Structure 1
Amino acid sequence: MSGDRGRVGSGGRSGDAGAAPEDVRVVRLAVVVPALNEAHEHGIVRTLEALHAQEDDDFNLVVVDNGSTDGTAELAGETIARLGRGRRWRVVHEPQKGTGAAADTGMRVAIAGGAELLARTDADCLPPPGWTRAVRDAFRTGDELIAGRLVPRTDDRPVSRVQQSVLAGVVWLAAAFGKVRPGNRGEGYLGPYVMAPGCNMAITAELYERAGGFPRTRIEDVHEDRALVNAVRRLTTAYGEHREVWVRASTRRVHAWGVVRTLGWYADHRYRPEVVDIR
């Protein structure tokens, strides 16, 4: 068990963390992007273009279409061809509804393709040009699960400075609640809870398989990212928050539901709308 490799940290490790790979850059990285009905102006094309612009572009990519009805899969395939990425980027299909099912399918396809490091973002997010490089650097610390940071998107809808501060506060409250939430505490955990948002996280392929992967569930039933973090916490302390790993995330859910209801959604689905998939 790797739990004695060092402390859980925020971008750094102590102890004998020198056991990390000498050069993570040579290790095969894959990025997984679950997608459902993202053929709109601010959807899958923008995400793929942001990934195409990565400074460290030595990675495979798997887009997982989760039963879209708006041509997302076809548009993703056309975009991959236009960007000249057809050799290492691909689109696969997962008909079982759920971000957990779609993300798990993508991770396992990536592993079957030889990936040793797995990163995930979503089809409504914009990773900055240094994202994949920051992911590799984060693995160099010895962490085997990387929890990234979210920054509000401002290109898809107007977001004032005040709203950006409010949204940052929402993320902080969600993370703080996770640390004290009864379901995240108890015997068997080797380290404290950290929020690893599904749209900006990374994990080694070995740990992903050992932890059982994302539960193949609907988002209405289980927050798959929290479930994976808790499974990891029973295996190792080699995980941590890395603020240098960040993506711009859509604010459409907050705009549609409001701050209070959105917080209720993330707090054990205390708010559950009739339509969950805000598009």
Structure 2
Amino acid sequence: MTLTVVVPVFDEAAGIGPALEALAAQHDADFDVVFVDNGSRDGSGDLIRAFAADRGLTRWRVIDEPEKGTGAAADTGMRAAIAAGATLLARTDADCLPRADWTAAVRRALTTGGLRLVGGELVPRRDEGVGWPTRMLLRGAVHLAEAFGRVRAGNRSPDYLGPYLMAAGCNVGITAELYLAAGGFPRTRIEDLHEDRALVNAVRRVTRAYARRSDVVVFGSSRRVRAWGLKNTLLWYKDHAYRPEHVDIR
């Protein structure tokens, strides 16, 4: 089955190198990558193309989506992948580092695990100058947020076929048929809606075949924590209770 990884990109030229290296180092290299340049002004797309050409990564490509927003960019990438024949989809972000067995784990979960959507484990990166106590607090906060999500009114409805699952947009896998059946990521800006939560809730109206998988691991950036502090970062993910004027942290 054809797996495609989708990566939204906005002004990431200064920091995307480690993410490119992590994708190029995957043990299961049988996958395509669609990078969606969401209006970058720093040459991000050209940098990615040069990296792919230098490494002979002929299955990597960059497409453009001028409509601002992680939701719009992710949706454009997913639909482009499906149009090109992908049956399995995975998404990560340009500031994240998929573990070397990530594509293998996504493929395994969606083909032999009986799942149609998988939300992976999000672990803070260790190379951004954030100390281990803060990293441990962040890991605990992720699990606390999922517990809160189960009782959050917006995530409860008799229309849902299964319990709430927090599947971060930077570490999610989904079958192409389910992506289309659920309607895909809403084409929204990051400051307007958490598109990953919206996708999960749409999936919950379609199927119960989704789960968290601890073997699907991505190391996520802590740059919001460094910019805003831990409290404000957690409030941001709690329905944008903290919402500064500038939300595109680089």
Report the equivalent of 2:145: 174
> What is the rounded CA distance, in whole Å, between the counterparts of 1:76 and 1:126 in structure 2?
15
Report the equivalent of 2:169: 198
Cα displacement (A) at 1:51: 0.7
Of residues 131, 135, 144 in structure 2, which corresponds to 1:164? 135
Of residues 210, 214, 223 in structure 1, which corresponds to 2:181? 210
Aligned pairs (5 A) from 1:10-25: none
> What is the rounded CA distance, in whole Å, between the counterparts of 2:6 and 2:77 in structure 1?
6
Q: Scaled by the length of structure 1, what TM-score is found?
A: 0.88
Report the equivalent of 2:3: 29
Report the equivalent of 1:24: none
Cα displacement (A) at 1:268: 1.0
**In terms of mean alpha carbon deviation, does 208-217 or 166-175 score higher?**
166-175
Report the equivalent of 1:14: none
Report the equivalent of 1:153: 125
Question: Which amino acid is 2:77 matched to?
Answer: G
> What is the rounded CA distance, in whole Å, between the counterparts of 1:256 and 1:127 in structure 2?
23
Aligned residue pairs, count: 249
CA offsets, 1:113-139, max 9 Å, x none? 100000000000011111111111111
8 Å contact from structure 1 (residues 170, 259) kept in 2: no
> What is the rounded CA distance, in whole Å, between the counterparts of 2:133 and 2:81 in structure 1?
40
SS in 2 for 1:33: strand
Cα displacement (A) at 1:45: 2.2
> What is the rounded CA distance, in whole Å, between the counterparts of 1:213 and 1:72 in structure 2?
25
CA offsets, 1:167-186, max 9 Å, x none? 11221222122111110001
SS in 2 for 1:46: helix
Decide which structure has the larger Cα Rg and report it. Answer: 1
> What is the rounded CA distance, in whole Å, between the counterparts of 1:222 and 1:159 in structure 2?
27
Of residues 54, 60, 81 in structure 2, which corresponds to 1:110? 81
> What is the rounded CA distance, in whole Å, between the counterparts of 1:259 and 1:158 in structure 2?
14
Cα displacement (A) at 1:267: 1.1
Report the equivalent of 2:231: 260
Is 1:241 paired with 2:212? Answer: yes
Aligned pairs (5 A) from 1:62-101: 62-86=34-58, 88-101=59-72
> What is the rounded CA distance, in whole Å, between the counterparts of 1:277 and 1:253 in structure 2?
9
Cα displacement (A) at 1:166: 1.1
Report the equivalent of 1:230: 201
> What is the rounded CA distance, in whole Å, between the counterparts of 1:174 and 1:93 in structure 2?
33
Aligned pairs (5 A) from 1:259-278: 259-278=230-249
> What is the rounded CA distance, in whole Å, between the counterparts of 1:142 and 1:228 in structure 2?
19
Question: Structure 1: which 5+ residue stretches go unaligned?
Answer: 1-26
> What is the rounded CA distance, in whole Å, between the counterparts of 2:172 and 2:208 in structure 1?
16
Structural RMSD (CA)? 0.9
Q: Scaled by the length of structure 2, what TM-score is found?
A: 0.98
Cα displacement (A) at 1:109: 0.6
The alignment-based identity, stated in percent, is 63
